Structure 1
Amino acid sequence: MAFCGNCLIVVAITIGSGLQIPMCFFLVNLAMLDVICACTVLFKLLKILVVQDASISYRGCMVQMYFLTWSVAAEVLLFTAMAYDCYMFICQPLLYGSMMSSRVCAVLAGVLLSYSFMNDIIIFVADIFLANLNFLLAMVSYGLVTTILKICTAEGKQ
């Protein structure tokens, strides 16, 4: 339903001649991001329901998680752009035409999408770094525990 509804929004806005305003541009982007967000989990969910196979590979999980977090981050940033558009329309009506031209909207959407993409990469790099650091610290602590267990006397273990 989400796929069909968002596709109808995209078709209605692109066909409608009076709907070429910045808010509709952002709505089309939001609808496409929502389709991406829904499709990232939909295919695996259908496989789980139809084939009764709930397993997923590590790589598949990472790809699914990447696109899900990217699309959600992009949606949140797009909401911010839509709020700015509303602010300009209501509070600065005389400057609205020049401040929210189609070029400005396209650049704004491109920046938001690329920023959410770079943000996702930074999150994954940080997660990998923290996971390796946590693993290393756990191994060191277990190494210290085994060193203590090798001590023969009770006084030494204390």
Structure 2
Amino acid sequence: MKREAQHNITEFSILGLSEIPELQLPIFATILLLYILIICGNLTTIVVVCGSSHLHSPMYILLTNLSLLDIAYTSNILPKLLSILLTEEKMISFMACIVQLYFFIALASAEVILLAAMAYDRYIAICQPLRYTSLMSMKHCAGLAIFAWIVGLLDPIGHISLVSKLSFCASHHIDHFFCDLSPLLKISCSDTHNVEMMNYIVGSLLTLSTFLLTLISYVFIIFTILKIKSAEGRSKAFSTCSSHLTCISIFYGTIICLYMRPASSYYPEQDKFFSLLYIVLVPLLNPIIYSLKNHDFKDGVKKILQKL
């Protein structure tokens, strides 16, 4: 009876980033500021691209989808974290926890596909510029974006189905700042082998395939850039893909460190740090390094401001 009652748990307690009371307010203020900057930066990208006809190209359409993903990605996690920090109410219902986990996996999966699509776009633009309009038309771009969203929304179904059947009798305390897969498996008293295998197989297929596609694209891009005779030409070509390369390095680096390993190697403090990197840092950097370094985007901002 005791085991059955514990299996029918209705709430979890999310421990958050720190147990020290004096740190709660400074952490809350920092996370709130970062969240506002993420929303404002990515909304600005969307508004400028949608409002500037000269930015209606495949690269910026993919960037708009990336900004939408980043807004949804952070909004799935940070509002609950801010609520915990402000009110110290750490409880989350079982259903809300499962929903948060579903959207976390879904949006992360969609993002790796979008990043690979953006790498492919840069490959075509630099390595095969004469065929760019045929290989990367608006129709193809829309297809890639839709594919990313569909695969992302379908990817977590297997994970969620298996996790929802687990028994959580070890503890109801999630030693993290959101409902992630590793801390949930850590407090389960069920056999988590099937969930871990699902995570390895699906995660490896999706993450490694998109990573290899991105890597191969940049190998060709680098070789093509090195063949350019003028230093100015090399610098201009590299500047078009350096921003994307920076973001994917952070994103894939943290994902591989966190999820390409057994659940038994879960270390709360280390995992919280890496999770913050790709939940907060990547969505914060995306609009900055993709947009503010881009002359076409700056022109779009000026035109929007003039209209206002």
Fold agreement, TM-score > 0.5: yes
RCO (CA 8 Å, sep 6+): is it higher in 1 or 2? Answer: 2
CA distance in 1 between partners of 2:161 and 2:129 (Å): 43
Report Cα offsets for 1:98-121 as digits up to 9, x if no partner: 111111111111111111211111
User: Of Structure 1 and Structure 2, which has the larger fraction of its residues in helix?
Assistant: 1
* CA positional deviation for 1:3: 0.8
Counterpart in the other structure of 2:190: 135
* CA positional deviation for 1:128: 5.0
Tell me which of 97, 109, 112 is aligned to 1:61.
97
Q: Secondary structure at the match of 2:90?
A: coil
Counterpart in the other structure of 2:306: none
TM-score by length of 2: 0.41
Q: Is the 8 A contact 2:98 2:160 kept in 1?
A: no
Return 5+ residue gaps in structure 2 as ranges: 1-36, 168-188, 193-308
* CA positional deviation for 1:135: 3.5
1:60 is matched by which residue type in structure 2?
A
Counterpart in the other structure of 2:249: none
- CA, structure 1 residues 115+4, in 2 after alignment: closer, same or farther (shift >3 Å)? same
Return 5+ residue gaps in structure 1 as ranges: 138-158
Q: Secondary structure at the match of 1:56?
A: strand
Tell me which of 74, 98, 111 is aligned to 2:147.
111
Q: Is the 8 A contact 2:98 2:164 kept in 1?
A: no
Matched, 1:46 2:58: no
2:95 is matched by which residue type in structure 1?
R
Counterpart in the other structure of 1:31: 67
Counterpart in the other structure of 2:138: 102
* CA positional deviation for 1:18: 1.3
Tell me which of 14, 36, 42 is aligned to 1:6.
42
Tell me which of 66, 80, 90 is aligned to 2:126.
90
CA distance in 2 between partners of 1:112 and 1:36 (Å): 14
* CA positional deviation for 1:122: 2.4
Report Cα offsets for 1:49-69 as digits up to 9, x if no partner: 222201111111111111111
* CA positional deviation for 1:9: 0.7
CA distance in 2 between partners of 1:20 and 1:76 (Å): 22
Query: How many equivalent pairs are there?
Result: 135
* CA positional deviation for 1:127: 4.0
1:47 is matched by which residue type in structure 2?
S
TM-score by length of 1: 0.78
* CA positional deviation for 1:125: 3.0
Q: Secondary structure at the match of 1:67?
A: helix
